[in-house]
A and B are shown apart, each in its own frame.
Chain A
């Protein structure tokens, strides 16, 4: 096959994949209102996805905040504006790092768990068994997991930001000696509602993207050990690329 032929095939495959995932998303959205009536199923998935990612989200938030505190302090000191550290850390965390890093962590932890769980359900005939029991597996299994991920992501992002701010404060105020009053008051004055709205919008959209990729890969996994492994890997890789791409688009849109 020529290079041109391979490129064409690759393009066609990508478009087919995009079409399939779009159809899947529409199906999930159409099923979502009825799924909300059984909120216990969704609540369980919020707990599963959220609890799975909570510890790494909190730890990563703390370290991210500490690094921001350190780097921010070194940079701002050059201009004699260390007091703006709180503002810099808060804006960076709320608008950018919180949603993006939480989404990447979610994809690596909860996303892979979702994909492998659904893939194994297919490999062990649990999906077929549901179909045989006249239960639609998309409604019963996929939609609650998808909605659980969509709800969990903004919550995790908020936790990441709060812990991150504590980390920045820990380094900036406690270690580097930035004035505590300036740190908090400048942050309070500079961070506006639109910053928080931008961060929350991003994390909601990232939640939809990461959960969609995970459930789509898992539900359509080839029912073998290799197939489930491939679905899990694809979940992480595609989620990471899509999150960074969407982040650029959303940041442009909010500017």
Chain B
């Protein structure tokens, strides 16, 4: 698959296969296009060439109701939760049910409370998003993402900015939901430690294509330079520390250039 923005290729020759029923992590340095890949998977962006097959359908070719029908089989946890700020926690979780079903209020209430109980926030049902901590916010978003019982669950940087307790809670929830609901989970993250303890398989992206793939243990022993730099957190390597720039001393002595 190829995808470019204003002529600059973000992905060129990318080939990723997500195994059903497992947690697959997409990793890579910042700016490599991890979130862009998720947007391609969800049909928010369309590949320039090649195809993105979701449940056997080329999502790039779907429009309108067909696209929405496929999206109803997916759930997504955004990096910041993306809760609707004018609705309470309860109403946020109930939102997809109210929009897509004609279930009686009693049943909606039971479903919402069940999902909130699953993420440990039944007691916060009456709170507004502004009253939640970052971790709680993401757990509510997770409850909302699973309320329609999706087959595929997508997580965009679920561990960013969380304290160790919230991080542990989210990690356990991702594993438990995947196993108990039989989901296919796609996890985008650059948190090496969390991903290696949670994911079943990992894709490491670099330079617009797959730099390495395999189980977390296989990745740990991969001899590739980019993998060594990423896993070891090395400042310099294939991903340079310095952004491309003119010669340092020439620029210091020069009177022109950026200020």
Contact = CB atoms under 8 A, between A and B. Distances in A.
Interface of A: 120-121, 124-126, 128-136, 140
Nearest to A48: B86
21 contacts: A121-B85, A124-B80, A125-B79, A126-B83, A126-B84, A126-B85, A128-B44, A128-B82, A129-B84, A131-B44, A131-B71, A132-B71, A132-B75, A132-B76, A133-B71, A133-B144, A133-B148, A134-B72, A135-B95, A135-B96, A136-B68
Nearest to B64: A136
Contacts of B100: 134-135
Interface in B106-156: 141, 144, 148
Contacts of A130: 84
B247 interface: no
B82 A126 contact: yes
The DSSP consensus for interface residues of chain A is helix
A133 B95 contact: yes
Contacts of B83: 126, 129
B69 A125 contact: no
Contacts of B80: 124-125
Contacts of B75: 132
Interface string B206-243: 00000000000000000000000000000000000000
Most B C-beta atoms less than 10 A away, residue of A121, A135, A140: A135
A133 B84 CA distance: 12
B163 interface: no
B256 to A, nearest CB: 23
Contact of B76 (A120, A121, A129, A136): A129
B71 A134 contact: yes
Contacts of A128: 44, 78, 82
Interface string B59-78: 00000000011011011101
A126 B79 CA distance: 11
Nearest to A123: B80
Contacts of B68: 134, 136
* Interface size range on B against A: 20 to 34
A124 B99 contact: no
Contacts of A133: 71, 95-96, 99, 144, 148
A134 B100 CA distance: 9
Contacts of A126: 82-85
A140 B99 contact: yes
B24 interface: no
A251 B100 CA distance: 46
Nearest to B79: A125
Nearest to B92: A129
B42 interface: yes
A125 B69 CA distance: 21
A22 B141 CA distance: 35
Contacts of A136: 68
Given A132-B76, A133-B99, A124 B85 contact: yes
Contacts of A140: 99
Closest 4 CB pairs of A and B: A134-B68, A129-B82, A125-B82, A134-B71
Contacts of B71: 131-134
A124 B148 CA distance: 22
B8 to A, nearest CB: 19
A133 B74 CA distance: 8
A131 B96 CA distance: 11
Contact of B69 (A124, A131, A134): A134
Contacts of B76: 129, 132
A136 B144 CA distance: 17
Interface string B85-100: 1000000000110011
B78 A129 contact: yes
A128 B68 CA distance: 13
Given A126-B82, A133-B71, 10 more contacts: A129-B78, A129-B141, A130-B84, A131-B71, A132-B42, A132-B74, A132-B75, A134-B71, A136-B68, A140-B99
A130 B144 CA distance: 11
Contacts of A132: 42, 44, 71, 74-76
A130 B95 CA distance: 9
B209 to A, nearest CB: 26
Most B C-beta atoms less than 10 A away, residue of A120, A124, A140: A124
Given A128-B44, A129-B76, A135 B99 contact: yes
A8 B57 CA distance: 44
Nearest to B144: A133
Nearest to B38: A132
A135 to B, nearest CB: 5
A125 B96 CA distance: 16
Most B C-beta atoms less than 10 A away, residue of A121, A124, A131, A133: A133
